[in-house]
Structures are given as C-alpha cells and as structure tokens.
Amino acid sequence: MKIAIAGGSGFIGQHLIRYFLERKISLILISRQRRASNHALIRNVTWSDLKSDVKVMEGTDVIVNLAGETINQRWTNAAKERILQSRLESVAQIADIVSRMEKKPEVVVNASGISIYGTSETESFVEHSEPRVMDFLSGVVQQWEEAMKQIRGTRLVKLRLGLVLGNDGGAFPRMLLPYKLGVGGRIGSGKQVMSWIHIHDLCRLIEFCIQNDDIIEQVNATAPHPVTNDEFGRTLGKVLHRPHLFPVPGFVMKLLFGELSTLILEGQKVFPYLATEYEFHYQFPYIDMALQDLVGKKKALK
C-alpha cells in the first residue's frame, strides 16, 4: 500500500507517519517546503511539485489530508483568515491532484472537526446530527466540509476530530501542567463536555476507515465515553496523585485566550456512532484508561 499524507509535520501527522512506518507502508509526504527524506519508505514532495506534475502520486492508494493552520492561537482577524483559508486551499489542492491522477486513489481521508455541531451542555451529537453555525469555528468547519465536495472520483471520509490526547502536542500538555504544579481544578462551570480520543486510537481509526470500503462521508473521531471538564480534571488529578481543588473562573480564560476560550468553556457531547456500528475496537474507550497510559508514558520519558 502507498499512502500520501498532507500536513504530516503536525502533532497528529507525526504520530500517523510513525504508525504507518511501523507497518512498512510506503509514504508520500506533501508539504509546502522541500524536505530531505531520512527513511527508505518516505518520499517528500511539495505542493508546488504537484501543481505541475502528479506522476509521483500515481499508484497512491490513499490520501490523508491533515493540512491546516493550527487553531491553538489567539483568534485575531488575521489568524481567523489563515485558519479558514489554509483549510479551503488544501482541500482545493487535493481535489485538483485527484482530478489529474490517471488512477484515482481508493479513498481520501480529510480532517474535519466536531465543532460543526455547535455547542451544548444538554444535547448529544452523532454523525447525522445537523450542522449548526454558532461561532467562528463551527462556521469554519462547515465551509471546510462544503469545500470537500470538490473531491470527486474516489471514496471520501470526513474525519471529524474531537480533542486528541497525546503527550507531545495538542492541548493535553497544557492541561497537565496545573496538576503537576498542584493547582489543578475545573475550568469555568466544569459542566462543559469534552469529546476526546487517545492519539493511538485516532491513528488506528484512520487505518480502520481506510480498510473499510463501506465507510463514507463523516466519521466522528472521538472515544465512546465523553466526560465533563470536571470529570476529566478529577480523573487526571487521581492518576497524578494531585489535588483537583482550584477552579479557574471563565472570565480568566477569556482574558488569557480571547475568543479561543470558547473551545475550553463550551462543550459538545459527541458520540462515535459509525465507529461503534462498524465495531471499531477502542484500546482506550474510557478517560481513566487513556490518562493512565499517557501519564505512565510521560513518567517513563523522565
């Protein structure tokens, strides 16, 4: 099998590359800048290379598109524009590449986000729930998925990512720090629901989507047991043997992070209905299992 990955330099991309290399899968890594390959199974190409010639992509079975500006930054007007345009542009480029390939890939797995459902403390969401534009990020994801209609001639999976937990990227290292310092506690009301997934299960779920031809359209990339922010913090404190006593008021988060604080203060109870229906086996279905694994690995690194 040959898999092309766009956006492989990010947190998720780096884990996915290692995951596929362990399985001896040939990879084409698409990026903005030319990079030297340090692995026999890796070939690096740039978007510019593919604009003029897609021959290097021939024989590619799968394209995974994770490309897009990070949302973990203060959402200034300029940052918002970068976040949106980077996603729309990468999708347009993938659509163009696929259209010019003589033999189309069997599937394109394109990152998306659970933000498309909007936020709620009481409602639950599954893949067939209606999209709701309630804020900046839900609007971005809706436009992002609308742009994916340009990708034709192949099976398309829209991978709606929840909060991805890993030690070396994403939000988890910053969530861990207050507890390591002994000042952890709920954020805001603590009632906001966190729909999360362990990074290893995410890599496995991407592979699962590739291997199952029946999976089309959107898939919620979340664990089957979402938790409230308070439950998450209590579990993390228990695993670390640290207190969960020091609440952080919502207004403090708004002062520190601006509009980005909506990601922390407002929740979504999202269930992976399709993954469950297709009998995907989670290695970390519960938050205590995921945190024990991550914290144990963190200690082992010291």
Higher pLDDT, 253 or 137: 137
This prediction's pTM? 0.95
pLDDT band at 299 (very low <50, low <70, confident <90, very high): low
pLDDT band at 298 (very low <50, low <70, confident <90, very high): low
pLDDT band at 301 (very low <50, low <70, confident <90, very high): very low
Higher pLDDT, 105 or 254: 105
Closest CA to 108 of 16, 197, 206, 32: 206
Tens digits of residue pLDDT in 90-124: 999 999 999 999 999 999 999 999 999 999 989 99
Tens digits of residue pLDDT in 15-37: 999 999 999 999 999 999 888 88
Residues 43-56, mean pLDDT to the nearest whole number: 95
CB 115 within 8 Å of CB 141 = yes
DSSP class per residue in the chain:
-EEEEESTTSHHHHHHHHHHHHTT-EEEEEESS-----STTEEEEEHHHHHH--GGGTT--EEEE-----S-S---HHHHHHHHHHHHHHHHHHHHHHHH-SS--SEEEEEEEGGGG---SS-EE-TTSPP---SHHHHHHHHHHHHGGG--SSEEEEEEE-EEE-TTSSSHHHHHHHHHTT-B--BTTS-SEE-EEEHHHHHHHHHHHHH-TT--EEEEES-S--EEHHHHHHHHHHHHT--B---B-HHHHHHHHGGGGHHHHS--EE--HHHHHTT---S--SHHHHHHHHHHHHHHH-
Task: Look up tokens 């949106």; give the residue.
Answer: 84
Q: Give yes or no for residue 55 having a pLDDT over 60.
A: yes
Round the average pLDDT of the chain to a whole number and report it. 94
